Homo-oligomer: A and B are copies of this chain.
Amino acid sequence: MAKRQLHLGAILEGVGADHHSWLDPDLPGNASIDINWYIEQARLAEAAKFDLIFIVDSPYITPDTAPHFLNRLEPLTLLSAVAASTSHIGLVGTLTTSYWEPYNVARQFASLDHISRGRAGWNVVTTGLEGAALNYGRDAHFEHGVRYARAREFVEVVQGLWDSYEDDAFPRDRASGTFLDKSKQHRLDHKGTHFSVAGPLALSRSRQGQPVIFQAGDSSEGRALGAAIAEGTFAASQDFESGSAYYADLKARAAALGRNPDHIIVMPGLVPTIAETDEEARAVAEAAQGALSIDKLLTQVGRFFNYHDFSKYELDAPFPDLSGVTLNSYKGGAERVIRIAAEEKLTLRQAAYRFGQWTSPFVGSPETVANEIERWFTGRAADGFNLRVTRPRDFALFREKVVPILQERGLFRSDYADDTLRGHLGLPVPQHRHAQPPVAIAAE
């Protein structure tokens, strides 16, 4: 087995998933709708040998939504344009299983996988926001459990469609006039609880076989889905302890399902604040936090609770009782807020500062940040990290100062050894379900 290697992703979130990042004068105001901004960030990440870039998504906004979400490019079109301007880096896009047709999703990700020559990944989400239903002809969003059942079947259908053609289905033999070997085209004929899809899909497999499946949900249903289908997860872990608990739980769940736990790559989010010294970095982080207005923070906390309006409560009273509020939104996040607020007896103001922004343990000099990354990696709280790169200065310092330390320590690649996303992540090419005879699987 090859030496375990750290994986790095870059979350390209334009002007930011919060209400203050766009104020950074180094960040172009139109970053979220400018394809050249994305191409430039992807090339920077590729030059630093990152495994992948990652595009978040959700299909619902209000006037109070954070700037990046208000006005942004759509993930599949965005990533296809970036594919044409990069050569190695993986391209992972978020797409909800609640409001798309599996046949269209299978086609678009398979097409991105061809366009990028085997670099596509799909972050499977079920949509946390109730209001999304209204954009898709429904009065109410699917109930939380139904969303996850649908997601599981949806992915099964999509992966089935991705195997519509065996890898040698197209002889394209001009002499005999044989373009397709018809025996190697397969219908799916799926008839399930939520979907009925005949196939075949009009697209062959790519160089990596199939796009890589990612997943991020942290509720118990989310973890169960991740353990079953994910080849990578974008965990929400905000400290080493919760990170290592999540890591152990997810890998154990995957093993219990008969899966190889090494084939599910755990990549928590990482928001770095880097400066020459630890003191300087801490001062920068504290100044950034002090600049946040309490109403923006309350709006952010509200997002876990389907945009619940927290401004109506007393700020310095205990965190309000939300027993009447639906948790059919970002359930994992909402439950965590309620649990910790109760355990630590937080006021609403304290909860707003705690949960209305991303608090990060990755604050310090390049050496300190590299140490913390190594601690998480060797301590099995992470197989890698997904870096939020909204602040241009921190992204530059990370690439130029932190990555070289990780490379010197032999934790992170100095050059690409492969040019597919599966190759970067050490994931096997999935065997074709109709291949005969079975291909021998390399020893692991």
* Chain A contacts to B: CB under 8 angstroms: 15, 22-23, 25, 29-30, 33-35, 39, 59, 61, 63, 65, 67, 69-74, 76-78, 80-85, 99-101, 103-104, 107-108, 110-112, 114-115, 131, 134-137, 165, 170, 172, 174, 177, 179-180, 182, 185, 195-200, 202-204
Among B22, B74, B84, point to the contact of A84 (Cβ < 8 A): B84
Whole-angstrom distance between the Cβ of A419 and the nearest chain B Cβ: 15
Q: How far is the CA of A308 from the CA of B363 in the complex (A)?
A: 68
Among B30, B100, B103, B136, point to the contact of A59 (Cβ < 8 A): B103
Asked whether, in the complex, the Cβ of A177 is within 8 Å of the Cβ of B84, the reply is no
Complex contacts, A165 vs chain B, CB 8 Å:
71
Whole-angstrom distance between the Cβ of A125 and the nearest chain B Cβ: 14
Q: How far is the CA of A67 from the CA of B178 in the complex (A)?
A: 10
Complex contacts, A61 vs chain B, CB 8 Å:
200, 202
Residue with the greatest number of chain B CB neighbours at <10 A, chosen from A59, A85, A114, A177: A114
Whole-angstrom distance between the Cβ of A78 and the nearest chain B Cβ: 7
18 A-B interface contacts by CB (under 8 A): A22-B172, A22-B174, A33-B204, A63-B185, A69-B202, A71-B202, A71-B203, A71-B204, A76-B77, A77-B108, A77-B115, A81-B84, A81-B115, A85-B85, A100-B104, A101-B136, A131-B198, A137-B196
Q: Indicate whether A74 sits within 8 Å of B131 (C-beta atoms), given known contacts A23-B174, A180-B63.
A: no
Q: How far is the CA of A200 from the CA of B62 in the complex (A)?
A: 8
Among B22, B115, B137, B199, point to the contact of A135 (Cβ < 8 A): B199
Asked whether, in the complex, the Cβ of A70 is within 8 Å of the Cβ of B198, the reply is no
Asked whether, in the complex, the Cβ of B114 is within 8 Å of the Cβ of A35, the reply is yes
Task: Tell me the nearest residue of chain B to A194, going by C-beta.
Answer: B137
Complex contacts, A15 vs chain B, CB 8 Å:
179
Complex contacts, A103 vs chain B, CB 8 Å:
59, 99, 135-136
Asked whether, in the complex, the Cβ of A111 is within 8 Å of the Cβ of B78, the reply is yes
Asked whether, in the complex, the Cβ of B203 is within 8 Å of the Cβ of A72, the reply is yes
Q: How far is the CA of A81 from the CA of B112 in the complex (A)?
A: 9
Among B80, B170, B174, B196, point to the contact of A80 (Cβ < 8 A): B80
Given contacts A23-B177, A73-B203, A81-B83, 20 further A-B contacts (CB under 8 A): A22-B172, A22-B179, A29-B179, A33-B203, A59-B103, A63-B182, A65-B202, A70-B179, A71-B165, A72-B202, A73-B114, A74-B110, A74-B111, A74-B203, A76-B108, A77-B115, A78-B80, A99-B101, A99-B103, A135-B197
